[in-house]
Amino acid sequence: MSLIADEIVRFSSVLRISYNLLTGRDYLKRKKFREKKKLISIALPFSDLVYGFPNLVPTFPIRMHTFEMHKYLTYLGSASRIFGWKNVSNFLGIIKNLNIGDVNKIIDEIINDVIDAVNNKYNEMYELGIENGVPTDFCYGIKSLYGMHVSKGKNVEANLNYTIRCSAWNKYLESLKTIENPAKQIWIDIPPRNIGNALELLTENLYDGIRELEKISGNNYDRNILRNHFQVANEIRNYYKTILYDISTLGFYPCNPATFSEILVILNNSFQDYNSNAIRYRDNMASLVKEMKERIRNKIGMDVSKMPRILITPMFGGWEPKSHEIIYELGGRAFYADWDILLLLEEIPITKISDPVEAYAHYLMNATKNGIGCDNDTLTDSYLRLARNLRADGLVFIQVFGCHSISNCYAMLKDKLRRELEIPSIALNFNRIGENIEQVKTRLGAFMEMFN
Amino acid sequence: MDNLELLSDYSSFLREKKEEGKKIIGFISHDNIPEELFDAAGFIPLRLLFAGNDEFMDASHDYLPPSTCAFAQSCIGLFSLKPNQYEFLDLIDYFIVSNHCVSDICASEIISKRFDIPRLNFYIPYTNNENSIKYFKLELLELKKQLEEINGKEIKDENLKESIKKYNSFKRKLLDFSFLNISGSEKLKILQKAILYGPFFLPELESFFEQRSDNEIQTSFNSKEVLLTGGSIFINDPLIDLVEEGGGNITFFDSWIGNNYYSQIIANDILDSIKNPYDILVHRFKNNNFGDHSVPNFLENKILQLEKIYQDHLKKTGRKLGIINHIIKFCDHISLLSSHLKNRLQEKGIQVLNLERDYSRAIRGQLSTRIEAFLEMI
Ligand code: SF4
Ligand code: SF4
């Protein structure tokens, strides 16, 4: 793991994003009890509407949990409040370079903990989901999300539910009502296709959702606040895309490829609710891009030009987090881009459409029609588009046990990849984090042979 | 009549229709698909309501992972293997890709793509509110357009209204039939055949009523009375035999082949008062409260419905109904909420068996044991 820890400490922005991800509970407690704000549970990157109300705080439910965080990260968090994160990161870098035995170990452990803490919590929530009635046949994501709500759902005022093409997902959202003292459910139906005046209907559905949020907030909807947030959200998307398109495609990385993948994992997780503070997240993304570019300019990092680029997807429904490290050890560089595949990193078109809600409807409809798609033909085209645009040399497809939607398209995808892109692919079965590492190693080993 | 005969007769029936110049539209059998529109356009709707077996399920694994619902797997397998008795599948001209659930989409898409059957899209919103209802109408009009393009002529409103009335009368008759006091297996056989043929079956259904004078109809069974909810018992599924061999009798079929189909009758005043026939279909969708497709009130509605049926039955007969919730393995809709459905009904003193299964032969012994144990408890 040290190969990743060595690198991440050089990015103060990554430390900040990770710290904010892991200390969500304290942050959210402060918001709820001291500042009297109300929490709204969201999942998938559907938090934007909530940001239209300054006294509502969106949260991806795992962030309400306490993570077993390394005590030094807590110290670092406190130190950062006094010295600033940049200085803390520089300081860590210096210690690292001096290679002082124990201190060095502590830094490795800190980063190790950030990554493992989230995964351990996921597994814990997965068990809780099953204990509370989710049949084992359902995907990892649904089981763990249900568990998260069982354990912390009482802290939120509402769940903001968007219907998507996955019927298991929609039923899961309904099932949240079975939890004791369930939070209010706000539903926003995304029409399956863009036919007739479907966009208008979606806009109205979003307005209905806003009216529900108004009731919780006690404040009236203000289009300027939402528009301003969408501007921030678009900047976040631009930074995210810069990392994916401009930096990840370079032959020289600002860090080793395993670290790079790790950063993409952290972004994938935190993008869903922007760690409950979009402006802070935007600023961290800005510094992340800046730090990466600076390092590349100064030739700090690693020449990766000879390493095959492997797209691992889908990972949001559950995947083995050791995969990218294994690929790195086998001579490749892995990257993750789920939100871009589903077109959720596209801009919300507020410059073209004056009503922000209508603009958001366009954004969601575009993702539904051209990204997620209402069938596997569209969805597999989305994978293809991304693999082509990001110049993937190979694709690792995660076949999540119990996923009847996204993971179901592999046979069709494999065919298209072979015919249209002529790149190899492999499907890895996934059930639960850590369950199958040896098998993953063997299969990836055989797969990576193809690039030698 | 055994199922081989049924399938062979059905095959001849479809062939005749083809010879008359009719086109056949296939779709996976759930609800909300407007078969009246197909009828009005002169097409023959063909519902895939055939159960699977090991071979069908295995044959689907080239296309979908084994953790796909056993019914969707089997629908693909049917096309892939196409055993003799199912050769009528070759007669299908178009296939509906719809989203009753995501497995329905995936399987329909594969059937259309891999077996070269042109597809027609029909997507159903997941919620059932004012705007979803408006969206449902958009889909209906879109489907109408697709059918008109194929036919090269308009579907007249009066033809659609006629078809709606025809299906309505057929469903009314089926509803009456559902109250007959005959054995579950006999009832199911007729229901399966009726829903397969649609209103073409009406004369046979009527003659069934005529043949059965009251004194011929059995009035009591010694078996334990059971309500089947969840997934349908499709044609060629031995599940009903297992229930009867275990000492049970299914008296109420609360599934797609059953109440879900024939309870969706449009009242006469609605038929008279709503002029636009598409609005009548929209009205039906709006009132489809007990179907498993919509969120977020499926569980609540289902519990209320089942409790009411149970209590009515208790009042009428003094006997308790056991409920078998039939879960086709990996079915998103029925499985996810099944433990909650069971717990909530059991809290009300209603016995529920969540019976999960796929179509493999190996599981039959286990199913029998579970059914017998459940029936003993009632
Ligand atoms: S798409 Fe698959 S992984 Fe995602 S929620 Fe649905 S079943 Fe789970
Ligand atoms: S998952 Fe359920 S609803 Fe969907 S096709 Fe299978 S049996 Fe039907």
Specify if A192 maps to a domain: yes
Residue A58, phi then psi, degrees to nearest 5: -75, 145
Residue B68 Cα to ligand 2 midpoint, Å, equals 9
Instruction: Answer yes or no: do B204 and B149 share one domain.
Output: no
Q: Is the pLDDT of residue B217 over 70?
A: no
Residue B368 Cα to ligand 2 midpoint, Å, equals 23
For residue B95, give the CATH number of its domain: 3.40.50.11890
Q: Which of B156, B174, B200 is the last residue of a domain?
A: B156
Q: Which domain holds residue B213?
A: 164-377
Instruction: Answer yes or no: do B101 and B168 share one domain.
Output: no
Residue with tokens 């090991």: B54
Residue with tokens 């779709």: B27
List, for residues B161-184, the tens digit of each pLDDT value.
Answer: 999 999 999 999 999 999 999 999
Q: Which of B100, B123, B156 is the last residue of a domain?
A: B156
Residue type, B272: D
Residue of B336, B344, B356, B358 to mutate, interface with A, max A Cβ within 10 Å: B336
Shortest CB distance from A133 goes to which of B67, B132, B340? B340
The tally of CA atoms less than 13 A away on the side-chain side of residue B378 is: 24
**Residue in chain A lying closest to B292 (CA):** A171
Residue type, A216: I
Residue A108 Cα to ligand 2 midpoint, Å, equals 48
Specify if A165 maps to a domain: yes
**Are the C-beta atoms of A339 and A237 separated by less than 8 Å?**
no
- Ligand 1 neighbours (beta carbon < 6 A): A 139, 141-142, 166, 168-169, 317, 400, 403-407
**Which residue's alpha carbon is nearest to atom 4 within ligand 2?**
B101
**Measured on CA atoms in the order A364, A365, A371, A373, is the torsion positive or negative?**
positive
Q: Is the pLDDT of residue A214 over 60?
A: yes
Quick check: A168 and B338 CB within 8 A? no
Q: Is the pLDDT of residue B354 over 90?
A: yes
Specify if A426 maps to a domain: no
For residue A102, give the CATH number of its domain: 3.40.50.11890
**Are the C-beta atoms of B247 and B224 separated by less than 8 Å?**
yes
Residue of B80, B100, B131 to mutate, interface with A, max A Cβ within 10 Å: B131
What is the pLDDT at residue A416? 96
What is the pLDDT at residue B1? 46
**Are the C-beta atoms of B322 and B362 separated by less than 8 Å?**
no
Check residues B2 and A279 and name the one with the higher pLDDT. Answer: A279
Instruction: Answer yes or no: do B266 and B133 share one domain.
Output: no
**How far apart are alpha carbons B237 and B234 in whole angstroms?**
6
Q: Which domain holds residue A75?
A: 5-223+251-301
List, for residues A162-210, the tens digit of each pLDDT value.
Answer: 999 999 999 999 999 999 999 999 999 999 999 999 999 999 999 999 9
Q: Residues, chain B, total?
A: 378
Q: Is the pLDDT of residue B200 over 70?
A: yes
**Are the C-beta atoms of B239 and B328 separated by less than 8 Å?**
no
Check residues A245 and A15 and name the one with the higher pLDDT. Answer: A245
**How far apart are alpha carbons A131 and A35 in whole angstroms?**
34
In three-state form (DSSP H/G/I as H, E/B as E, the rest C), the secondary structure along chain B is CCHHHHHHHHHHHHHHHHHCCCEEEEEECCCCCCHHHHHHCCEEEEEECECCCHHHHHHHHHCCCCCCCHHHHHHHHHHHHCCHHHHHHHHCCEEEEECCCHHHHHHHHHHHHHCCCCEEEECCCCCCCHHHHHHHHHHHHHHHHHHHHHHCCCCCHHHHHHHHHHHHHHHHHHHHHHCCCCCHHHHHHHHHHHHHHHHHHHHHHHHHHHHCCHHHCCCCCCCEEEEEEECCCCECCCHHHHHHHCCEEEEEEECCCCHHHHCCCCCHHHHHHCCCHHHHHHHHHHCCCCCCCCCCCHHHHHHHHHHHHHHHHHHHHCCCCEEEEEEECCCHHHHCCHHHHHHHHHHCCCCEEEEEECCCHHHHHHHHHHHHHHHHHC
Mean pLDDT (chain B, rounded) = 95
The tally of CA atoms less than 13 A away on the side-chain side of residue B233 is: 27
- Given CB atoms, is B339 within the 8 Å cutoff of chain A? yes
What is the pLDDT at residue A1? 44
Domain count, chain A: 1
Report the complex ipTM: 0.96
Residue A191 Cα to ligand 1 midpoint, Å, equals 18
Residue with tokens 């009042």: B315
The β-bridge partners of A188 are: A162
Specify if A360 maps to a domain: no
Specify if A409 maps to a domain: no
Instruction: Answer yes or no: do B220 and B138 share one domain.
Output: no
- Given CB atoms, is A177 within the 8 Å cutoff of chain B? yes
**Are the C-beta atoms of B270 and B280 separated by less than 8 Å?**
yes
For residue B335, give the CATH number of its domain: 3.40.50.11900
Q: Which residues of A touch B291 (CB under 8 A)?
A: none
- Nearest Cα residue to B375 out of B186, B225, B240, B231: B225
Instruction: Answer yes or no: do B194 and B133 share one domain.
Output: no
**How far apart are alpha carbons B144 and B165 in whole angstroms?**
18
| Other Cβ atoms within 10 Å of A28 Cβ, number | 20
Specify if A441 maps to a domain: no
- Nearest Cα residue to A222 out of A199, A278, A186, A213: A213
Q: Which residues of B touch A133 (CB under 8 A)?
A: 339-340, 343
**Are the C-beta atoms of A210 and A183 separated by less than 8 Å?**
no
Roughly how many angstroms between the first and final C-alpha of chain A, as a whole number?
A: 25
**Are the C-beta atoms of B258 and B174 separated by less than 8 Å?**
no
Instruction: Answer yes or no: do B146 and B179 share one domain.
Output: no
Q: Is the pLDDT of residue B296 over 60?
A: yes
Q: Which of B104, B129, B156 is the last residue of a domain?
A: B156
Q: How confident is the model at residue B76 (pLDDT cuts 50, 70, 90)?
A: very high
Instruction: Answer yes or no: do B186 and B240 share one domain.
Output: yes
Longest CA pairwise span in chain A (Å) = 67
- Ligand 2 neighbours (beta carbon < 6 A): B 30, 69, 71-72, 100-101, 103-104, 231, 328, 331-334
**How far apart are alpha carbons B21 and A376 in whole angstroms?**
33
Instruction: Answer yes or no: do B172 and B260 share one domain.
Output: yes
Instruction: Answer yes or no: do B170 and B310 share one domain.
Output: yes
What is the pLDDT at residue B209? 87
**Which residue's alpha carbon is nearest to atom 5 within ligand 1?**
A169
**A50: Cβ–Cβ under 8 A, 6 or more apart, which residues?**
A40, A42, A56, A57, A58, A160, A213
List, for residues B128-143, the tens digit of each pLDDT value.
Answer: 999 999 999 999 999 9
Specify if A309 maps to a domain: no
Specify if A29 maps to a domain: yes
Residue of A145, A171, A409 to mutate, interface with B, max B Cβ within 10 Å: A171
Is A272 in a helix, a strand, or coil?
coil
Query: CA-CA distances (angstroms) from residue A119 to A68, A73, A115, A284, A320?
Result: 11, 17, 7, 23, 9
By CB atoms closer than 10 A (0-12, 13-18, 19+), residue B364 is middle
Region A110-128: what's the mean pLDDT? Answer: 84
Ligand found nearest the CA of B357: 2
Tokens of A57: 């705080």
Instruction: Answer yes or no: do B96 and B185 share one domain.
Output: no
Q: Which atom of ligand 1 is nearest to the CA of A166?
A: 6
**How far apart are alpha carbons A369 and A379 in whole angstroms?**
9
- Give the CA-trace dihedral at A148, A150, A156, A162, to 10 degrees: 70
List, for residues B302-337, the tens digit of each pLDDT value.
Answer: 999 999 999 999 999 999 999 999 999 999 999 999
Distance, in angstroms, between B200 CA and closest chain A CA? 33
Instruction: Answer yes or no: do B141 and B180 share one domain.
Output: no
Instruction: Answer yes or no: do B197 and B269 share one domain.
Output: yes
**How far apart are alpha carbons A341 and B208 in whole angstroms?**
57
What is the pLDDT at residue A79? 74
Region A409-424: what's the mean pLDDT? Answer: 95
**Which residue's alpha carbon is nearest to atom 7 within ligand 1?**
A403
Instruction: Out of A11-15, A18-22, A407-411, B176-180, pick the least confident.
Output: A11-15
List, for residues B93-116, the tens digit of each pLDDT value.
Answer: 999 999 999 999 999 999 999 999
Query: CA-CA distances (angstroms) from residue B170 to A194, B27, B266, B267?
Result: 35, 20, 11, 13
Ligand found nearest the CA of B32: 2
Parallel/antiparallel/unpaired status of strands A252-253 and A302-303: antiparallel
**How far apart are alpha carbons B120 and B150 in whole angstroms?**
10
- Of chain B, the percentage scoring pLDDT greater than 90 comes to 95
- Nearest Cα residue to A5 out of A263, A247, A302: A263
**How far apart are alpha carbons A227 and A225 in whole angstroms?**
5
Instruction: Out of A63-77, A403-417, B159-173, pick the least confident.
Output: A63-77
